[in-house]
Structure 1
């Protein structure tokens, strides 16, 4: 844990877990209702009957509060995935991500434009939301290398996490091509696993 994260955790420890969930819930509701610009410290304070000074003391800025709420809502996305094979891990991750598709899409759309125009939000989102997801996928790849499933210098390795997470982000823009909730698992089978050499000839998924 970074020094900044440890400091933030220490500050938040003064708020009970129940109160923290209430505050984060208010933030997410405001995001869904009106996007990033609709979230204000004043608005969260009013909805939760929390002092505005308390919010600033705990999170310092709106961007930190928003990203903390997003991080809390997504923290368990890839937690605990370790099937014993790289293909199994990636398939489990794709299923987990697809199951969260609806809820995540609303929130990502809400912060999408703000991400481009607010550097502080961009930095905070990368630290608390994007980087942990990338790290989890990279860990699956490292385990695959250690088991001898793929070579450590396989040229597809650097592109797995960007491709995997990229489909999640752009899927709403291509609803005509991805009408079902299983777009990411399908992409995994059609593109990522063949690129890693983890599917048999013809690209068919092996029988369980």
Structure 2
């Protein structure tokens, strides 16, 4: 199993923050278009209008470049959701997932095969993309528990973050369509919320 140990620059970086952002955006765009396997430094260089030498001075291998792009990727902004009720929060999560247009789901899908063979890339994806969303959902649920909407003993609590995130990111894989706000709202109301209504006897 090949693993690239660091995303740190191989030498002094001469890239401005603006140029780095452009490069990372192009990396994510290429990933979503053709996947990790077809992504090359040549393609990124052409897309970002940056020389290959510039890229290689900063990142010795495309895995380092992709990991850095993941580190600087924007997550679906569910960490600011706070409507005052769990049902309202999930409705808003559905809205924001729909507004993402499936970009996060496509990004994850583009790396499915690559992360099986590269533990460093898998860790970068988990740390910078997946865990950020899960943490936001855990906070959302914590507030619901504190408000008394959900029992602390409810068995579904342990599975809530993964269930919601899975619904947000898997629709394209299952149906071929990008996440849809109406579909997600219906799913959350029919499946997620009822699972949290458990009350211990």
When the two structures are aligned, how many residues end up with a matched partner?
Answer: 190
Give the whole-Å Cα distance in 2 for the aligned partners of 1:50 and 1:151: 54
Q: State the shift of 1:108 in Å.
A: 2.8
Which piece of structure 1 moves more, 164-173 or 133-142?
A: 164-173
Q: Which residue of 2 aligns with 1:184?
A: 184
Deviates further, 65-74 or 109-118:
65-74
Task: Summarize deviations over 1:34-61 as a string: whole Å, max 9, x none.
Answer: 2101223454344434455654565665
- TM norm structure 2: 0.76
| Larger relative contact order (CA 8 Å, sep ≥ 6) | 2
Q: Deviations over 1:84-140 (max 9, x none)?
A: 222222221122112223333432332222233322211110000000100000011
Cα 1:85/1:25, change in 2 over 3 Å = same
Structure in which a larger fraction of residues adopt helix: 1
* Cα-Cα RMSD: 3.3
- Structure 2: how far apart are the matches of 1:126 and 1:22? 23
Q: Give the aligned partner of residue 138 of structure 2.
A: 138
Q: Return the alpha-carbon distance in structure 2 between the equivalents of residues 57 and 77 of structure 1.
A: 33
Task: Indicate the residue corresponding to 1:96 in structure 2.
Answer: 96
Distance 1:92 1:13 in 2: 40
Gaps in structure 2 of 5+ consecutive residues: 1-6
1:23 to 1:132, Cα distance in 2 relative to 1, 3 A: same
Q: Following TM superposition, by how much is the alpha carbon of 1:194 offset from its aligned partner in structure 2, in angstroms?
A: 0.9
Q: Any idea what the Cα deviations from partners look like across 1:148-186, whole Å, max 9, x if unmatched?
A: 22222321111111111122333223328x798232222
Question: Is contact 1:81-1:92 (8 Å) kept?
Answer: yes
Cα distance between partner residues in 1 of 2:166 and 2:124: 19
**Preserved contact between residue 145 and residue 152 of structure 1 (Cα < 8 Å):** yes
Under a length normalisation based on structure 1, what TM-score does the superposition of the two structures give?
A: 0.74
Which stretch shows the higher mean deviation, 156-165 or 51-60? 51-60
Residue pairs, 1:101-180, within 5 angstroms: 101-175=101-175
Q: Check 1:20–1:154 CA distance in 2 against 1; reply closer, same or farther (3 A cut).
A: same
